[in-house]
Amino acid sequence: MQLEERLLSFYGDDFTGSTDAMEALTLSGLRTILFLEPPTKELLDEKFTDVACIGVAGISRTMSPEQMETDLKPILKQIQELGASINHYKICSTFDSSPTVGNIGRVLEMILDINHTQAFVPIIAGATPLQRYTVFGNHFARVDSKTFRLDEHPVMSRHPITPMQEANLIKHLSKQTSYPVDLVDVLSMDDHFTELEATVERIVTKQKPKGLLFDMLTSNHLTKIGKFIYEESKEKPLFVIGSSGVEYALTNYWSSMQDLKKQEANVDKINKTEKEQILVVSGSCSPITSEQIKHALDNGFTGLKVSPVKLIDPKTGSSYFNDLMKTVTELINAGENVIVYSALGSDDSSIEETREYLQSIGAEPTSSGQLLGEQFGKLIKKTVENTSLNRIVIAGGDTSSYATQEMGIYALEMIRSVAPGAPLCKSYSNTQRFDGVEIALKGGQLGQVDYFSKVHLGSNVTV
C-alpha cells in the first residue's frame, strides 16, 4: 500500500463528529480535508492532490428516516465514488440516535443497498482514545474520573433530542431496523487475530447478520479492529459504521505497517498557533459545556446569554438579532473575548421555553438545533465581515452543523490539537475574508473545563 492511494473517505453525521475523525487521521500524519459537501474530482485535482483522506461533514444526526432516504443516500453514493477502499459512516461515540431521528439502523440498510458486494457492515462504537468502550454489546463513556453506562451517562441520558436510554447497542438498533445485528464480544477480541477472523467467519456463516458490532475495551482491541477492516477492504470497497474509533483503529494498524511511513511533514504543520482573540457561540445544553462557559467567564471572557425564542421567533427575531449583532461587534472591536450562549446546562429554563414555543407553532422539537444554529451562523458571518476577528468556536453538535453552513466556507483542515475530538481548524472559502479563518467545533460532551481558554491561547496546555 502506497500513500498515493486515497486511504479513506468518511461522512460525519454532524460537524463536531466530523472534525473528531479528521483529527484522528491528521495526528497520524495523514493529510485530511473535511468538506461541507462532497467534493468534485476537479476540485480535488486542482487543490488537494496530496490528500490521503477525505471527509464530508453532514447533518444526518438530525434527519428523519425519510430525509435520510432523500438527502443522505445520494451523498453516501458520492462518498463511495471518491474511490477509497474504506468508506466510513461516522457516528457519535455515544451512539446518538433514535427510530425517528438520526436512525443508524436505516443507514445500515442504505449501505447494503448501495454496496451490493458487501454481506455485512462492521459497526464500531468504541474509541479508547476518547474513553468510549463497548463490552458484551453494552456501551460506556467516561466523564472526568468515572465511567458510565450509556443509559446512566449524565449528558447523553438527558440529551434534549436523542436521550440514550438503552446501553445495549444491539437492542438499541433493533428499534431502528429489522436487519439482524450480531456481536463479536470482548472475549473474542482478546483472541489471536487468526482466531478472531475465524470467529467472525463463523458468526457471518451461521447467523448471517447484516450488521456486526465489535466490542472494544483496550488499545489492543483497537488495533485488531483496524487490521480486520483493512484486510476486509483489500479485495473490494468496504463501508463501515462507527465512531472515530474507526480512524483510530486504522491509523494504529497502518502505523505498524512497514510500507506506510508517517508523513512527518504534515504533522509538523500543525500546533503552530498563537494567542488570538475569539468569539464563542454555544447552543449546547451539556453540563460539560456549562462548566466550560463558567470557567471562561471567570477568566476574562465577556458573556452574552441569549433567548433562543426571541432569536428564532419571526416576530422578534430581526430586532433581537440586530441588537445582539451590534453588541457583539462593539465588544469584539473593543478587544474582548466573547461568549454568546443559549443555555447553561441541561436544566436551563430556556430549553423548556424553546420546546414549548416550537410546540405552539407546530414545529418539531428537533428543529431547535437548526433554527438556533442558522441564526448563530449568520451572527458569526456578519461579525467576521465587520471586524478583524479570525478565530471562532462553535459549541454543540447540531449548532455547529447548521452554523458552519451559513459561513460561506467549503472545507476545513486541522491546525491545532486542543482537546481530543475538538481540534482547531482553518477554513477554505472562495471568499477571501473567510479563507483561512480559524474554527473549532466542539461537541457538548468534549473538552476539559478550560477548553475555551486553550483555544484563545492557541495551546493545548492546561490553563
Contact of 132 with 167, CB cutoff 8 Å: no
In three-state secondary structure terms, 424 is strand
- State the pLDDT at residue 387: 98
- State the pLDDT at residue 157: 75
Has residue 266 got a pLDDT over 80?
Answer: no
Has residue 145 got a pLDDT over 70?
Answer: yes
- All three cell numbers of 76, joined, read 453516501
Distance CA 189, CA 141 (A): 19
Banded model confidence at residue 2, pLDDT cuts 50, 70, 90: very low
Banded model confidence at residue 269, pLDDT cuts 50, 70, 90: low
Has residue 450 got a pLDDT over 80?
Answer: yes
Has residue 446 got a pLDDT over 90?
Answer: no
Distance CA 196, CA 232 (A): 13
Cα–Cα separations (whole angstroms), residue 314 to 319, 421, 440: 10, 35, 29
Percent of the chain, pLDDT > 70?
95
Please give the average per-residue pLDDT across 75-81, as a whole number.
95
The 10s digit of each residue's pLDDT in 192-240 is: 999 999 999 999 999 999 999 999 999 999 999 999 999 999 989 999 9
User: Cα angle at 428 between 425 and 430, to 5 degrees?
Assistant: 160
- All three cell numbers of 192, joined, read 489471536
Banded model confidence at residue 268, pLDDT cuts 50, 70, 90: low
Has residue 261 got a pLDDT over 60?
Answer: no
- Whole-structure pTM value: 0.90
- State the pLDDT at residue 421: 85
Please give the average per-residue pLDDT across 308-335, as a whole number.
96
Cα–Cα separations (whole angstroms), residue 40 to 79, 167, 243, 425: 11, 39, 25, 22
Q: What sign does the CA torsion over 100, 102, 108, 109 have?
A: positive
Q: What is the amino acid identity at position 391? A: R
Weakest-pLDDT range from 81-85, 270-274, 314-318, 414-418: 270-274
> b/e for 432-463, b at 16 or more Cβ within 10 A?
eebeebbbbbbbbbbbbbbbbbbbbbbbbeee
| Mean pLDDT, all residues of the chain | 92
Count the alpha carbons within 13 Å of 331 in the hemisphere toward its beta carbon.
Answer: 21
- State the pLDDT at residue 273: 81
Beta-bridge partner residues of 442: 395
- State the pLDDT at residue 227: 97
- State the pLDDT at residue 279: 98
Weakest-pLDDT range from 9-18, 73-82, 113-122, 268-277: 268-277
Has residue 433 got a pLDDT over 90?
Answer: yes
Domain boundaries, the chain: 8-268, 279-457
Domain 8-268 bears CATH identifier 3.40.50.80? no
Please give the average per-residue pLDDT across 276-305, as a whole number.
96
- State the pLDDT at residue 3: 45
The 10s digit of each residue's pLDDT in 386-421 is: 999 999 999 998 898 899 999 999 999 999 999 988
Distance CA 338, CA 384 (A): 13
Domain 279-457 bears CATH identifier 3.40.50.300? no
